[in-house]
Chains A and B, each alone.
Chain A
Amino acid sequence: MLRWSLHRIAAGVALVWLVATFTFLLVSLAPGDFATRLTDPRIPPAARARWRRDFGLDRPLPLRYASWLGAAVTGDLGSSWIYKQKVVAMLASVLPNTLLLTSLGLALELGGGVALAIVQLRKPHGTGDRIITLATLAAYALPAFGVALGLIALLSYRLHLFPPSHMLSLEGEMAHGWPRLVDTARHLVLPVAAIGVTGVGAVARYLRGSLLDERTEQYVLAARARGCSQRQALVRHALPNAVLPLITMMGMSLPFLVSGSLVIEVVFSWPGMGQVMYNAALGRDLPLVLGGTIVATVAVVVGNLLADVAYVVADPRVRV
């Protein structure tokens, strides 16, 4: 087990380096660079050339890569070209916002999905099942921005129950401690709901399908024969098996956890990774893009690792 873990960690590090290098290449070869956007006629064209030199964009690619790499391995990811702050500091300030949003959203999805699936399976094909199936179908088919806009229009502009955007209100920004927390919580409701509502449908449907599959398997029937109730049989025996694709899904969601959803963040003006990375990409802010990519890669690697570990735990027969 230990050897395997070390193996995976080494592979992970190698992957991070590979992805970072590849991204460096991509950004450098993509059309336009950081200085390209300076098209304001008040800015003399000579200034663009100067700006390029100042940011080292006229040096040959291998040299730029080498100096970036050299600094990166010591933990210095440089400063964002657009925002002038250290990349590490920027990511550290923006990542928690995204994590807050996405983790709560995923928790809602998972919890809600499992609960719904279990309720549905009390009486498969019964009225309750049918209604929930239809509802989850609708939620699952609607795109996230639609749900978000709908929630805002209804719960915020119409009913004035929750704030329509941002992480804190003006009063909240100036406050500290408990009032600030409460304010943040109020602002979290709508975006988390938007993420959760769209995802809960998918989880519920996966689980329902999986559990129905397992229900007819020999080992479940055997458990029933031994005297377990339907629910016990499902939860104790079938669920662990049914949960495998769910684990894959959750593992795949780790990058989402970290990178957030651009659409949700823009609609809710949420100061998260999604927006920052998008602006960095459009503005060709190389240090920031690389920093964000590294974070995302680590998330992907960790997510995969955890998923594989979870597979083994859930079903000891599996060998990864």
Chain B
Amino acid sequence: MTSLPRSPRRLRAGVALLATLATGALAGPWFAGSPTAILDPGVAGLLPPGSEKAVVIRRDGTTLAGESLRRSGPDWVITRAGAEVTVPGTDAATAGVRRFWLGTDTVGRDVLARLVSGARVSLGVGALALAVALVLGVGAGLLAGWAGGLVDAFLMRLVDALLAVPMLFLLLFLAALFRPSLAVLVLFLGFSSWMGVARLVRGQVLSLKERDFVLAARALGASPWRIAFRHLLPNALTPLAQDAALRLGDLILVEASLSFLGLGVQPPAASWGTMVAEGQEVLANAWWLTLLPTALVAATVISAALAADGLQELARNET
């Protein structure tokens, strides 16, 4: 393998970004605080990033947020919306001043915590659904392109049919049959997305099938499997990798629509897609609620695309 002057840069950048996101997703919840704890929505709702508020949580779970906090003997006195509220020391579970680095949403939940816990869901579900879509799509595409004839015709008509049927109804129908769960979500998402991959791969296979190196391999007696994986797939990698990176971003956002139908993650759990959808309702007041998860989704897509670019350069330089 000759040395590669430029390609590792893209690959490295992409992989590094992805790794950061993944680490944040996995390790973050330890540091970030609760993503589901509702915090005195009247006062702590829709806070802009960087805000600071005094917070007192009572033993019974109710919360108070206010501008300032002081001790008065064993008790805490919090100034809340202009009035002073005294919380007896025995009543208070925690009291202190909290900084909300990325602000809060409409019911006072910490956005940073939600983004971090949402990362697990979105990245995990997104990656798994992409895997499902790729497995189904590549499998079908290879089969259709290579075998040709009736097999091709049947598979492509199936793809056409699935593309034409209004997905909304299919999902509504399935939503009525199954209770929401992560496995169901991953399967549906992947299933709704494999058709594009199949068509793409089939197109590539059709063109590559007649190329010299494939004809040579066949002449040498290579089995279809070998040809498929050693020769066809690597050459089809370019468009496939591009498509996959973009598809990942789409899947993360489509997950939000599935939540709308009751199939996706249910509140109070967070996912980037649902955060974007929720943020859109208060876009004018609280732009950060939409911007931040969107930026993270975009970052995911960009890093996946960079990695895909890098892989292609690698493959290109190797052949």
Contact = CB atoms under 8 A, between A and B. Distances in A.
Let me know if chains A and B touch directly in the complex, using CB atoms closer than 8 Å. yes
A192 B319 CA distance: 40
Interface string A246-273: 0111011001000000000000000000
Given A11-B153, A300-B163, A141 B301 contact: yes
Contact of A31 (B176, B196, B204, B253): B176
Given A11-B153, A31-B176, A293 B166 contact: yes
Interface in A70-126: 125
B85 interface: no
A311 interface: yes
Interface string A42-83: 000000000000000000000000000000000000000000
A281 B168 CA distance: 8
A125 B316 CA distance: 14
Interface in B148-179: 148, 152-153, 156-157, 160-161, 163-166, 168-170, 172-173, 176
Contacts of A29: 173
A315 interface: yes
A206 B163 contact: no
Contacts of A320: 152, 206
Nearest to A251: B199
Which of B148, B161, B166, B207 has the most A CB atoms < 10 Å from its CB? B166
Contacts of B306: 137
Interface in A209-252: 209-210, 212-213, 216, 241, 244-245, 247-249, 251-252
A205 B6 CA distance: 17
A305 B276 CA distance: 37
A51 B168 CA distance: 24
A297 B169 contact: no
A177 interface: no
Contacts of A202: 242, 246
Contacts of A140: 246, 301, 305
Nearest to B303: A141
Contact of A23 (B6, B160, B166, B196): B166
Interface in B252-284: 253, 276, 280, 283
B88 interface: no
Contacts of B193: none
Contacts of A209: 238-239, 242, 309, 312
Interface residues of A, number: 57
A311 B209 CA distance: 13
Contacts of B204: 244-245
A298 B250 CA distance: 25
A315 B173 contact: no
Interface string B191-217: 000001001101110110111000000
Contact of B206 (A31, A141, A311): A311
Interface string A124-157: 0100000000000110111101100100000000
B169 A27 contact: yes
A23 B169 contact: yes
Which of A18, A209, A255 has the most B CB atoms < 10 Å from its CB? A209
B210 A206 contact: no
Contacts of B199: 248, 251-252, 304
Nearest to A211: B238
Interface string A179-211: 000000000000000000000001001100110
A237 to B, nearest CB: 14
B36 interface: no
A318 B206 contact: yes
Nearest to B156: A304
B156 to A, nearest CB: 7
Interface string B278-292: 001001000000100
A23 B211 CA distance: 41
Interface of B: 6, 148, 152-153, 156-157, 160-161, 163-166, 168-170, 172-173, 176, 196, 199-200, 202-204, 206-207, 209-211, 235, 238-239, 242, 246, 249, 253, 276, 280, 283, 290, 294, 297-299, 301-302, 305-306, 309, 312, 316, 319
Given A216-B316, A307-B203, 8 more contacts: A26-B165, A141-B298, A202-B246, A209-B238, A209-B309, A281-B166, A289-B166, A318-B207
6 contacts: A206-B239, A216-B316, A255-B164, A297-B161, A317-B211, A318-B210
Q: Which 10 A-B pairs have the closest CB atoms?
A: A245-B239, A297-B164, A317-B210, A141-B301, A141-B298, A248-B203, A26-B169, A209-B238, A30-B172, A300-B164
